[in-house]
């Protein structure tokens, strides 16, 4: 998929508001979990939803008015979202449930949905920031609003719903749960169909602490930057999205031995991307490269985490391989590594991560010679209906240097990738060669 063409439009914003809960809420302190407050979650994550004009709902008024009122009602149930983060001893984060509220912006834009192109997906034109305005002073982790929402009506009658979330509060599943609650109330419900569950203590480190974590956690290894990493090439970056439909996935499966051909789309696609990206970045063959698989652990606890739990509940297990092995061995090698990496995530693994956070000062996952892949095909962004139908696109806005998202698209999956321009050329060729069967590395996998 080609990069987006420049797009210029004007957005007229009303004065930003602070939307507080529509009713009384408890004034209390609620602690985040030891998974929530790790360094890698201490940032803001932007998401955008694009909605078409719905002729049957044309008389319903500006979506912003409906969503604003529903947001205030939803915050009664999700009242921690209306609070502010504080930091205690040992960098422990907590929510001061002040009921102050979240930032809300109503806007109009002189651009139509069709102007964004036939296929809505990252990378979006550089002007997307106009649809999610960075209110000065609102983007910090501590002592700032935990949510910023902008609803922009487009000239065609469609609209966008853009949200910026303090990641310590929720992962993708938790954010979708909150957005769904707002959407249900916007459509007339009195309360969310799934009631929110806090219970962050379920993902805290065991008390008393054990002598050491039970897993190695190579995902949190810290070492210097070096050749063969995106971080060493911050300038002249290129962004592209790649589409993988049934034909492309089938072509990749043909490169696998028979016993692996029933693996998941995530497994084969992630293995392909990791391998092609490593070839493109050209690290030394004996250097270690990492793949972090973002794995939702909700169902991997015994019993599973309660429905309605909206905190961060993902594991970030890392596969580690020599660059030479990854690029020279058959694709089946990488698939096996991906499968084994995902399999380690369970209740014991998550408790071990929590222990490491407490013991090591809540470190960030490593980004050096690392590629992170997150599967959003079942996250549910595309199902959020505020009363004007489901979105044409729902999900991430920006492309990150070391990460890719698997985003559901009509008849397939879209994967945004960001690399140095020279590496992107090689990456495109490598992916194309694999899909077209020009896979002539040593050893046939068949």
Q: Which residues are catalytic?
A: 167, 385
Q: Report long-range pairs for 208-214 (Cβ below 8 Å, ≥24 apart).
A: 209/355, 209/358, 209/359, 210/355, 212/355, 212/359, 213/352, 213/353, 213/355, 213/356, 213/359, 214/348, 214/349, 214/351, 214/352
Tokens standing for residue 198? 């806090």
Rounded CA gap, 307 and 389, in Å? Answer: 25
- Judge contact between 68 and 16, C-beta under 8 A: no
Number of neighbours of residue 247 by Cβ within 10 angstroms: 10
Spatial CB neighbours of 203, under 8 Å, sequence gap ≥ 6: 33, 34, 35, 36, 311, 312, 313, 350, 354
Spatial CB neighbours of 60, under 8 Å, sequence gap ≥ 6: 66, 387, 388
Q: Say whether the peptide bond before residue 368 is cis (omega within 30 degrees of 0).
A: no
Of 273, 280, 345, the residue nearest 316 (C-alpha) = 345
Cα distances (angstroms) measured from residue 314 to each of 61, 125, 293, 351, 423: 38, 30, 10, 12, 30
Rounded CA gap, 383 and 394, in Å? Answer: 8
The DSSP annotation for 221-275 comes to: ------SSSGGG--SSEEEEEEEEEHHHHHHHHTTS-GGGTTS-HHHHHHHHHHH
Rounded CA gap, 419 and 234, in Å? Answer: 9
Rounded CA gap, 370 and 367, in Å? Answer: 5
């Amino acid at each position: 998929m080609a990069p987006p063409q420049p797009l210029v439009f004007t957005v007229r914003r009303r004065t930003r508001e602070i939307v507080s809960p529509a009713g009384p809420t408890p004034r209390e302190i609620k602690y985040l979990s030891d998974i929530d407050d790790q360094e890698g979650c201490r940032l803001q994550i932007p998401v955008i939803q694009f909605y078409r004009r719905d002729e049957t709902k044309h008389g319903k008024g500006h979506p912003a008015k409906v969503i604003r009122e529903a947001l205030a009602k939803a915050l009664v149930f999700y009242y921690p979202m209306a609070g502010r983060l504080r930091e205690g001893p040992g960098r422990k984060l907590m929510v001061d449930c002040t009921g102050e509220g979240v930032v809300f912006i109503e806007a109009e834009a002189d651009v139509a949905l069709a102007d964004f192109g036939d296929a809505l997906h990252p990378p979006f034109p550089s002007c997307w920031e106009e649809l999610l305005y960075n209110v000065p002073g609102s983007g910090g982790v501590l002592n700032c609003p935990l949510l910023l929402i902008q609803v922009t009506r487009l000239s065609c009658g469609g609209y966008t719903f853009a949200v910026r979330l303090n990641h310590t509060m929720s992962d993708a599943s938790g954010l979708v749960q909150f957005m769904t609650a707002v959407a249900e109330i916007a459509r007339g419900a009195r309360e969310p169909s799934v009631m929110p569950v806090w219970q962050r203590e379920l993902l805290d480190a065991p008390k008393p602490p054990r002598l050491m974590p039970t897993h190695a956690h190579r995902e949190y290894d810290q070492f210097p930057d070096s050749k063969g990493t995106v971080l060493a090439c911050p300038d002249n970056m290129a962004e592209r999205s790649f589409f993988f439909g049934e034909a492309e996935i089938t072509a990749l499966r043909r490169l696998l031995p028979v016993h692996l051909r029933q693996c998941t789309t995530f497994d084969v696609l992630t293995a392909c991307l990791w391998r092609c990206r490593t070839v493109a970045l050209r690290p030394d063959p004996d250097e270690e490269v990492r793949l972090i698989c973002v794995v939702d652990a909700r169902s991997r606890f015994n019993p599973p985490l309660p429905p309605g739990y909206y905190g961060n509940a993902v594991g970030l297990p890392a596969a580690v391989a020599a660059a030479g092995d990854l690029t020279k061995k058959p694709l089946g090698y990488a698939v096996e590594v991906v499968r084994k990496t995902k399999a380690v995530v369970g209740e014991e693994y998550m408790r071990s991560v929590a222990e490491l956070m407490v013991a090591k000062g809540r470190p960030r996952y490593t980004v050096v010679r690392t590629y992170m892949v997150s599967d959003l095909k079942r996250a549910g962004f595309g199902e959020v209906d505020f009363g004007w139908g489901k979105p044409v696109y729902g999900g991430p806005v920006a492309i990150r240097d070391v990460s890719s998202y698997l985003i559901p698209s009509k008849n397939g999956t879209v994967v945004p990738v960001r690399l140095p321009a020279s590496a992107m050329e090689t990456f495109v060729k490598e992916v194309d060669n694999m899909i077209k069967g020009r896979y002539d590395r040593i050893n046939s996998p068949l």
